[in-house]
């Protein structure tokens, strides 16, 4: 838990600590070297440059490894699939765990096929408003905000497909 947090936000944390360290360091030496020579500007400029470099470093750190992490996590997911899913069973377990009703599940499936609410409504012979109600509850139960996320999460949990 805690370790994972550190792992995940290690760069941000490191940045924070660096910032603190630099500030402390600069304050220690400020009286003897900088302010004596009436060079407040140099002091600020130093900080500016330092933190610009830090920003550049941060950016290069944060932008790269994203793809890698995704791939790795997905590999894990796939291993799970192999070990424990004959598809239709986990399906039911997860569905029950989340408290999804049959109707909501139907909507979810059609949603995953990329149908619009209107199309889902026509397919299920209900009104558009009804579909919206279902999707709303669906999002609530799946703890997501958008249909794209709902589909993603549902697939990940093996509720559908």
Partner DNA sequence: AGCTGGGTCATACTTTCGGGTGAATTTAGC
Partner DNA sequence: GCTAAATTCACCCGAAAGTATGACCCAGCT
Applying CB under 8 A, the residues found at the interface with its own copies are 15, 19, 22-23, 26-27, 41, 44-45, 47-49, 51-60, 63, 67, 70-71, 74, 87-88, 109, 111-116, 144-153, 161
Q: Are 107 and 120 in contact (CB under 8 A)?
A: yes
Binding pattern for the stretch 47-66 against DNA, x by CB under 7 A and - elsewhere: ------------------xx
What, of DNA, its own copies, none, does residue 142 touch, CB below 5 to 8 Å by kind? none
CB of 60 to its own copies, least distance (A): 6
- Give the torsion through C-alpha atoms of 13, 16, 19, 22, to 10 deg: -50
Query: What is the spatial distance between Cα 73 and Cα 76, in angstroms, rounded to a whole number?
Result: 5
- Identify what 32 binds: its own copies, DNA, none; CB under 5 to 8 Å per kind: none
Q: Identify which of residues 2 and 18 has a Cβ nearer to its own copies in the complex.
A: 18
The enclosing H or E element of 146 equals none
Token reading at 24: 């402390």
Q: How far is residue 160's CA from residue 111's CA, in Å, rounded to a whole number? A: 11
- Give CA–CA dist 111/155, Å, rounded: 12
Is residue 87 involved in binding DNA (CB under 7 A)? Answer: no
Residue 75 corresponds to which tokens in the numbers above?
Answer: 């590999």
Q: Using CA atoms, how far apart are residues 25 and 10, in angstroms rounded to an integer?
A: 22
Query: What burial class does residue 98 get, using C-beta atoms within 10 Å of its C-beta: 0-12 exposed, 13-18 middle, 19+ buried?
Result: middle
Near DNA in 108-137, by CB under 7 A: 116-118, 124, 126-130, 132-136
45 binds, among its own copies, DNA, none (CB under 5 to 8 A by kind): its own copies
Question: In terms of CB distance, is 26 or 124 closer to DNA?
Answer: 124
Give the interface with DNA as residue ranges (CB under 7 A). 7, 10, 65-66, 68-69, 99, 101-104, 116-118, 124, 126-130, 132-136, 139, 145-148
């Amino acid at each position: 838990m805690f370790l994972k947090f550190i792992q995940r936000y290690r760069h941000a944390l490191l940045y924070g600590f660096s910032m603190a360290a630099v500030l402390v360091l600069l304050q220690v030496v400020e009286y003897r070297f900088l302010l004596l020579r009436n060079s407040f500007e140099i002091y600020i400029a130093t900080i500016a440059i330092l933190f610009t470099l830090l920003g550049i470093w941060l950016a290069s750190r944060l932008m790269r490894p994203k793809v890698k992490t995704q791939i790795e996590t997905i590999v894990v997911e796939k291993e799970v699939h192999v070990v424990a899913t004959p598809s239709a069973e986990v399906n039911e377990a997860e569905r029950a765990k989340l408290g999804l009703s049959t109707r909501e599940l139907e909507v979810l499936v059609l949603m995953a096929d990329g149908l619009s609410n209107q199309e889902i409504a026509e397919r299920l012979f209900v009104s558009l408003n009804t579909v919206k109600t279902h999707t709303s509850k669906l999002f609530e139960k799946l703890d997501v905000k958008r249909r794209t996320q709902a589909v993603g999460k549902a697939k990940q949990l093996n509720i559908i497909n």
